[in-house]
């Protein structure tokens, strides 16, 4: 049902939130802030699931967007009093089907030791739906269950369970994942 649901509207495809943490020195990123190497952990050892879950058997992403970005000081733990929201100073500079790069548009806090960005993207090849989108849920129910209801509505009060192999969520890891 997920595949038929997303075929109805591209915006119903799953979205995911990624994050990347990069050290800072004198308000400058010491390495590239990017998300790459995204892999669905639930398909490790079950490569046949890739073609069931993703068109072409691959994950391709689009709509990369910065949700939030922060600087702070930390050694082991983040010093809460040093957290600064810098979302308005960060932008996506490169966005492909497999990775996203970010940069600060201005110098960041010179006293901060780390930078953290939260980034979202939509998997444009996924047959899984965005379970946080109420419209996608309504479409999933209509596409997946309405015909059962129409055939079984006289018995609907007696049905207490129904097998369903969806919803399924992608459990992703990426090269820069920490925490």
Over residues 96-106, the mean pLDDT reads: 96
Main-chain dihedrals φ then ψ at residue 167, nearest 5 degrees: -75, 155
Prediction pTM value? 0.85
Confidence label for 169 from pLDDT (cuts 50, 70 and 90): low
Q: In this structure, how many other beta carbons lie within 10 angstroms of the beta carbon of residue 124?
A: 17
CA distance 141 to 157: 17
pLDDT digits (tens, 9 = 90+) for 109-168: 999 999 999 999 999 999 888 888 999 989 988 888 888 889 999 998 998 887 665 555
pLDDT digits (tens, 9 = 90+) for 28-60: 999 999 999 999 887 777 777 788 888 998 999
- List % helix, strand, coil for the chain (3-state, nearest 5): 30, 35, 35
Predicted confidence (pLDDT) at residue 15 exceeds the cutoff of 60: yes
Residue 45 Ramachandran class (φ > 0 left, ψ -120 to 50 alpha, else beta):
left
- Spatial neighbors of 82 by CB under 8 A, at least 6 apart, are 71, 72, 73, 111, 112
């Amino acid at each position: 049902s997920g595949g038929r649901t997303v075929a109805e509207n591209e915006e119903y495809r799953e979205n995911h939130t990624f994050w990347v943490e990069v050290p800072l020195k004198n308000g400058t990123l010491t390495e590239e802030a990017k998300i790459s190497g995204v892999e669905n952990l639930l398909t490790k050892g079950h490569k046949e699931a890739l073609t069931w879950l993703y068109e072409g058997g691959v994950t391709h992403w689009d709509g990369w967007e910065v949700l939030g970005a922060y600087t702070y000081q930390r050694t082991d733990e983040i010093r809460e009093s040093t957290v600064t929201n810098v979302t308005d100073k960060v932008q996506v500079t490169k966005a492909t089907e497999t990775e996203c790069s970010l940069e600060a548009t201005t110098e960041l806090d010179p006293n901060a030791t780390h930078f953290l960005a939260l980034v979202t993207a939509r998997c444009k090849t996924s047959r899984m739906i965005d379970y946080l989108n109420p419209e996608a849920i309504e479409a999933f129910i209509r596409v997946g269950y309405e015909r059962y209801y129409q055939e079984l509505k006289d018995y609907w009060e007696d049905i207490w369970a129904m097998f369903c192999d969806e919803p399924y969520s992608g459990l992703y890891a990426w090269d820069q994942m920490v925490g």
